[in-house]
Chain A
């Protein structure tokens, strides 16, 4: 079965490139890892490696050709045992190849879309006329949307299937909103708009610098495409007697929480740093500030600061003091921010929101406090606008009011950390070698190791602790 070599995408945005040089000639034997050709864009030059063995049967795009569209057929490799001379170039070029009826072939073709950001050439394990699927080793290497098929059938409308196929969306990664969770057109369109659910997530973190490593990952393990599904509803029901439970349908918020936090736990390597913060100075300052608050016309105080308002402000300032931690993971790069944006988890009936306090480092405590009151009220009424809960570098989750002493929180993607705040309570501490009573709050920072290493995370939470224990620093 001949193997098609397609023009690779060097970056997610690349649409065409120049075929700079062929390093193999027609008739040369190739084996996995051999460099076939050099491709250049205005930014970089990259080598295209073979990941199949065989003989380079046909070169279809001559070297020196400029502006070759991504996914165009550039060469054909005859597999072992095939007669290279018998390999025919297809009449319609690469565009014909994805028409193959096998879903495996489609998945592979999708893998090569610019959005997929894959590095190697994309193979279509099909004869150019789309005859039969291959077996054996190429089957094992076949990446793409397979996982959804392995876990179980994805229920999707015919239109959703077709658009997903045309646009390269992995249906298995799309949450369905139709009857019984069926994926329908609007779900696929939403996934497209949000840029999620693309088949073949970028497998190569640093494309340009390390082309070799990158092409080694050209065929990502199937598990990358979609989080593995858990037990099906039927399987779960099977564990319990009928009539002992009520079935609660999932609303959009529950689905989003389930999907995003599952992703967070699977994709972001979490580690946790716990410190105790003494609150006596903060409580005294808070008391002083609250008593000194001015009044509105109807006699209400202009603000009433909570401990959480101090925590938000301290996180904002801490991020500015440790700029390397004021950053998030963006697949092939890190985004570093100039301002501190701190999300705050607000529990509502049936879920939660994390509205984001922008420029938390610069805002006064009273401004933060009043913004939070407004956010909390509107979150409970489900009236927050998306731009009010999107973004943020870190979040604060406070369960102190429930008497929780210590917990760890799941990072809210795409943020890089989250601070879990426990209750402030009187504890015995050792001061100058003697026991003393202090008000203490335990806080735990969950860090995304892709962005924050241990020492950096420690620096961040230490800066936070210093601010909380010396709260006057937050007033200036």
Chain B
């Protein structure tokens, strides 16, 4: 049997592989187990390949509107296979990169399905059995299935698409993000069930590529976690692009025929309607992969499908930790990475604090982009804050006009009493690259005063972030 590892991580997604590298940096003998792909869903079937697809859509959009910029582009078309090939190529390249990073940091990769058979007790390390997997061939240099032992075991098994009974994805006509990412042909019509980040990104991609798209959302607002005003503005833009949106609407039944799906949709007013399209994408959220790891046998506390931790990754069973999607929402790659590092540093005994989940940004890469951090205006009021709200429209920003992107809004929410930045919400071009400025500000606990004193470069979209703050305090210049 192999030597005992200090830390063994189950799952090489963004949480797991980052935790592994940090553990190796801290001098731990580290291994990471995976059954399918280094980099996890994020890198192989999620964040990254969809960004490749959306980049294609963005360029296609510009080419279609080339004349707006004084250019001519004729016979603009696309090759679905080449689009998918590029997206897969991006994933492959980064997947190889993760392998290199692990190797460089002397992290062992073990290939297979892991089950924890015993947690560490006293001087006895925890035991992990790894079974062979047929899901994907092992990368070069990976250790084979077998019995392994480790003092600390971190569960980082991620999540998978939620399936609604009766509307289970069949991979042919009812898709999850897996199938939606590798279409053989562009569907002419598409129903998207769920308007979270995943649903909206695919709706945006396929609409730009020419499909008739209808988004069906159960809640009264699309992008339900976002600020209502921002989501409302985004909705108007989507509808202008030709996306049909039904909110407060529930898909109750889906019937499949040879080349189409027909969904029965109930709207809040008790009426129902039938919509037919070539494909349906089920994007109603994800659920944690908590099964088959041995958590129940070890007595690890699980509540509503989520492994309960103390915020530093520790479960109720000493020696067993959980990070990322399995440890609860928000189920985002950057949250998983941060939790992974915190968990490993806690094991090392470094001074750590649980992450403040109120300061985790969220980004959606549709056209227009949406980015946010902190409390929405409604949530802030609900929590009893007297708020000062700042707004600045893209139309007032020189760079946005020069880019030909005059639609969008930067909204900031402050606690009127202390000047604390409670939340920031943006819709418009490139906002996913802007939000981090506010995230840093919130993390450093800046008040409106510090933000006002900060010099923002001209001409940039970031100037709108300054103006929004100024607006909250009645000092805005360009509106």
Q: How far is the CB of A178 from chain B (nearest CB, A)?
A: 8
Instruction: Give bound CA distance, A251 to B346, whole Å.
Output: 12
Q: Is A158 within 8 A of B446, CB to CB?
A: yes
For A125-169 the 0/1 string (1 means CB < 8 A from B) is: 000000000000000000000000000000001111011001000
- Hey, what's the 0/1 contact readout for B351-371 against A, CB within 8 Å counting as 1? 101000000000000000000
Q: Which chain A residues border B418 with CB–CB below 8 Å?
A: 159, 162-163, 166
Q: Let me know if A157 and B445 touch, CB within 8 A.
A: yes
Q: Separation in Å of the B439 CB from the closest CB of chain A?
A: 15
B350 touches A249 (CB 8 A): yes
Which residues of the other chain, B, contact A177 by a CB distance below 8 angstroms?
A: 353
A363 CA to B186 CA in the complex, in Å? 80
Interface check B444, CB cutoff 8 A: yes
**Pairwise interchain contact B447-A158, C-beta atoms closer than 8 A:** yes
- Residues in A whose Cβ lies below 8 Å from that of B196: none
* Chain B residues in 8 Å Cβ range of A250: 351
Closest A residue to B450 by beta carbon equals: A158
* Chain B residues positioned under 8 Å from A163 (CB to CB): 418
Specify which chain A residues have a CB less than 8 angstroms from the CB of B447 in the assembled complex: 158-159, 162
Chain B's nearest CB lies how many Å from the CB of A192? Answer: 12
Residues of A close to B419: CB separation below 8 A: 159, 162
The residues of A that contact B351 with a CB separation of less than 8 Å are 249-251
The reply to whether the CB of A110 lies closer than 8 angstroms to some CB of chain B is no
Q: How far is the CB of B131 from chain A (nearest CB, A)?
A: 35
Question: How far does the alpha carbon of A250 sit from the alpha carbon of B450 in the complex, in Å?
Answer: 30
Q: Would you give the shortest CB distance from B370 to chain A, in whole angstroms?
A: 26
* Mask: chain A, 245-261; 1 = CB below 8 Å from B; 0 = not: 00001110000000000
Partner of A159, one of B350, B353, B446: B446
Separation of A166 and B350 alpha carbons in the complex (Å) = 33
Name the distance in Å between A188's Cβ and chain B's nearest Cβ.
10
User: Taking CB as reference atom, which chain A residue is nearest B451?
Assistant: A158
Interchain CB contact (< 8 A) of A157 among B350, B446, B449: B446
**Is residue B417 contacting chain A, with contact meaning CB distance below 8 A?**
yes
> Is B129 located at the chain interface by the 8 A CB criterion?
no
Q: How far is the CA of A160 from the CA of B450 in the complex (A)?
A: 13
Q: Which residues of A contact B417 (CB under 8 A)?
A: 166
Q: Is the CB of A184 within 8 A of B350?
A: no
Across the interface, do A158 and B449 meet the contact criterion of CB distance under 8 Å? yes
Q: Which B residues lie within 8 Å of A170 (CB)?
A: none
Closest chain B residue, CB of each to CB of A184: B445
Query: A residues within 8 A CB of B449?
Result: 158
Query: For chain A residues 414-461, which have a beta carbon within 8 Å of chain B?
Result: none
Bound state CA distance, A301 and B420, in angstroms?
Answer: 59
Chain A stretch 357-397: residues in CB contact (< 8 A) with chain B: none
User: Nearest chain A CB to B451's CB is how many angstroms away?
Assistant: 9
Interface range for B = 10 to 19
Bound CA–CA A163/B449 (angstroms): 14
Contacts of B353 in A (CB 8 A): 177
Q: Which residues of A contact B420 (CB under 8 A)?
A: 159, 185
Q: How far is the CA of A185 from the CA of B359 in the complex (A)?
A: 14
CA distance A90 to B342 in the complex (A): 53
Q: Which B residue sits closest to A249, measured CB to CB? A: B351
> Chain B nearest CB: distance from A330 CB in Å?
31
Contact with A along B332-356 (1 / 0, CB 8 A): 0000000000000000001101000
Q: How far is the CB of B405 from chain A (nearest CB, A)?
A: 32
Among A157, A158, A163, A250, the most chain B Cβ lie within 10 Å of the Cβ of A158
Output the least CB separation between A233 and chain B (Å): 14
A162 to B420, CA, bound (A): 9
Q: Chain A residue with minimal CB distance to B442?
A: A159
Tell me which residues across on chain B come within 8 A of A162, comparing CB atoms: 418-419, 447
Q: Of A163, A184, A251, which is in contact with the most chain B CB atoms at under 10 Å from its CB?
A: A163
In the bound complex, CA of A249 to CA of B350 (Å): 8
| Binary per-residue interface labels of chain A (312-355) against chain B in the complex, 1 for a CB within 8 Å, 0 otherwise | 00000000000000000000000000000000000000000000
How far is the CB of B346 from the nearest CB of chain A, in Å?
Answer: 11
Contact string, B424-444, partner A, CB cutoff 8 A, digits 1/0? Answer: 000000000000000000001
Question: How far, in whole Å, are A441 and B23 apart by their CA atoms in the complex?
Answer: 50
Instruction: Write the nearest CB–CB distance from A94 to chain B, whole angstroms.
Output: 19
| CB within 8 Å of B: which A392-413 residues | none
Output the least CB separation between B102 and chain A (Å): 28
CA distance A157 to B446 in the complex (A): 7
B318 to chain A, nearest CB (A): 9
Give the Cβ gap from A179 to chain B, nearest Cβ, in Å: 9
CA distance A303 to B447 in the complex (A): 59
Assembled-state Cα–Cα distance A177/B450 (Å): 21
User: What residues of A have a CB within 8 angstroms of the CB of B444 in the complex?
Assistant: 157-158
When C-beta atoms are compared, the residue in chain B nearest to A250 turns out to be B351
Which residues of chain A in 181-214 are interfacial with respect to chain B, using CB atoms and an 8 Å cutoff? Answer: 184-185
Shortest B465–chain A CB gap in Å is 17
Contacts of A158 in B (CB 8 A): 444-447, 449-450
Q: Are A160 and B350 in contact (CB under 8 A)?
A: no
- Chain B contacts with A in 88-114, Cβ cutoff 8 A: none
Q: How far is the CB of B329 from chain A (nearest CB, A)?
A: 22
- A402 to chain B minimum Cβ distance, whole angstroms, is 26
Q: Which residues of B contact A159 (CB under 8 A)?
A: 418-420, 445-447
Residue of A nearest to B350 (CB): A249
User: Chain B: which residue is nearest A185 at the CB level?
Assistant: B445
CA distance A185 to B443 in the complex (A): 11
Q: How many Å lie between the Cα of A158 and that of B420 in the bound state?
A: 9
Q: How far is the CA of A177 from the CA of B449 in the complex (A)?
A: 23
- In the bound complex, residues from chain A placing their C-beta under 8 Å from that of B445 are 157-160, 184-185
Residues of B within 8 Å of A185, CB to CB, are: 420, 445
Minimum CB–CB distance for B418 against chain A, Å: 5
What's the least CB distance linking B437 to chain A, in Å?
Answer: 16
Give, as a whole number of angstroms, the nearest-CB distance from A247 to chain B: 11
Contact residues, B443-460 vs A (CB, 8 A)? 444-447, 449-450
Residues of B contacting A249 in the complex (Cβ-Cβ under 8 angstroms): 350-351
Q: CB-CB < 8 A to A166: which residues of B?
A: 417-418
Residue of A nearest to B444 (CB): A157
List B residues 398-433 near A (Cβ within 8 Å): 417-420
Within 8 A of B (CB), among A228-251: 249-251
Q: How far is the CA of A163 from the CA of B417 in the complex (A)?
A: 9
Closest approach, in angstroms, between the C-beta of A256 and any C-beta of chain B? 14
A184 CA to B418 CA, complexed, in Å: 13
| Docked pose: A177 CA to B350 CA in angstroms | 13
Q: Give bound CA distance, A159 to B419, whole Å.
A: 7
Residue among A162, A177, A250 with most chain B CB within 10 A: A162
Look across to chain A and name the residue whose beta carbon is closest to the beta carbon of B353: A177
In the complex, A160 Cα to B444 Cα: how many Å?
A: 10
Which residues of A42-88 have CB atoms within 8 Å of chain B's CB atoms?
A: none
A160 to B420, CA, bound (A): 10
Closest to A350 in B: B349
Closest Cβ–Cβ distance, residue B421 to chain A (whole Å): 9
* Minimum CB distance partner of A180 in chain B: B351
User: A residues within 8 A CB of B350?
Assistant: 249
A159 to B359, CA, bound (A): 15
Set of chain A residues within 8 Å of B446, measured between Cβ atoms: 157-159
Q: Which residue of chain A is the closest to B441 with respect to CB atoms?
A: A158
A249 to B449: give the CA distance in the assembly, Å: 32
Docked CA distance A359–B446 (Å): 48
Question: How many whole Å from A294's CB to the nearest CB in chain B?
Answer: 31
Minimum CB distance partner of B449 in chain A:
A158
Q: Looking at the assembled complex, report how far the CB atom of A190 sits from the nearest CB atom of chain B, in whole angstroms.
A: 13
Given contacts A157-B446, A162-B418, 20 further A-B contacts (CB under 8 A): A157-B444, A157-B445, A158-B444, A158-B445, A158-B446, A158-B449, A158-B450, A159-B419, A159-B445, A159-B446, A160-B445, A163-B418, A166-B417, A177-B353, A184-B445, A185-B445, A249-B350, A249-B351, A250-B351, A251-B351
Q: List 19 A-B contacts (CB under 8 A).
A: A157-B445, A157-B446, A158-B444, A158-B445, A158-B447, A158-B449, A159-B419, A159-B420, A159-B445, A159-B446, A159-B447, A160-B445, A162-B447, A166-B417, A184-B445, A185-B420, A249-B351, A250-B351, A251-B351
- The 5 A-B pairs with the shortest beta carbon distances in the complex, nearest first, are A157-B445, A159-B445, A249-B351, A158-B447, A158-B450
